[in-house]
């Protein structure tokens, strides 16, 4: 399909609470095109996740696809997941911290601490319910991407703003 322009911090669409998909919308051809555009845009930008608002679409869908090799040393590969209408449950208050980056906040990294064990329920690309538990880095990726669907960026989650740096200074 098409590589779309990644929206960056300051674009109002990134601060919107997205609209949920109906099952019919998930199965519609235009949604398949949206998913392909998101996938193409994420790969072109070198990301491991992308949410629809990052390409200007205020709908509740995100993709997570952590490859074998990525810029994140702590990353473990995951299968590609297309996630519609996610709901997150925190299974612990214990947190892990990682230097997060974002396609919509280019050139910066911030140290963010998040719960390290979660359960996420969502609909997949076939409108089938999926429930997954994630821990560690993958739990962080889920939380980062789901935040996008509710108008939040990782910079909003940084506890100490001194922990926001340009990538080359990390």
Active-site positions read: 145
Give the DSSP letter string of the chain.
--PPPPP-TT-GGGGSBPBPPPHHHHHSHHHHHHHHHHHHHHHHHT-SEEEGGGGT--BSEEEE---SS-S-TT------EEEEEEEEEE--S-EEEEEEEETTEEEEEEEEEEESEEEEEEE-TTS-EEEEEEEHHHHHHHHHHHHHTBT--GGGG-S-GGGEEEGGG-
């Amino acid at each position: 399909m098409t590589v779309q322009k990644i929206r960056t911090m300051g674009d109002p669409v990134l601060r919107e609470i997205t609209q949920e998909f109906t099952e019919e919308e998930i199965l519609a051809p235009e949604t398949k095109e949206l998913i392909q555009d998101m996938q193409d845009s994420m790969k072109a930008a070198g990301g491991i996740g992308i949410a629809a608002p990052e390409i200007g679409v205020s709908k509740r869908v995100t993709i997570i696809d952590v490859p074998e090799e990525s810029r994140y040393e702590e990353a473990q590969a995951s299968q590609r997941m297309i996630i519609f209408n996610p709901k997150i449950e925190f299974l612990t208050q214990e947190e892990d911290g990682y230097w997060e980056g974002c396609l919509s906040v280019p050139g910066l990294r911030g140290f963010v601490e998040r719960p390290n064990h979660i359960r996420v329920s969502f609909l997949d690309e076939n409108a089938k319910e999926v429930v997954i538990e994630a821990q560690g880095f993958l739990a962080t990726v889920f939380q980062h991407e789901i935040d996008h669907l509710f108008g939040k960026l990782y910079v909003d989650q940084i506890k100490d703003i001194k922990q926001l740096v340009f990538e080359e200074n990390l």
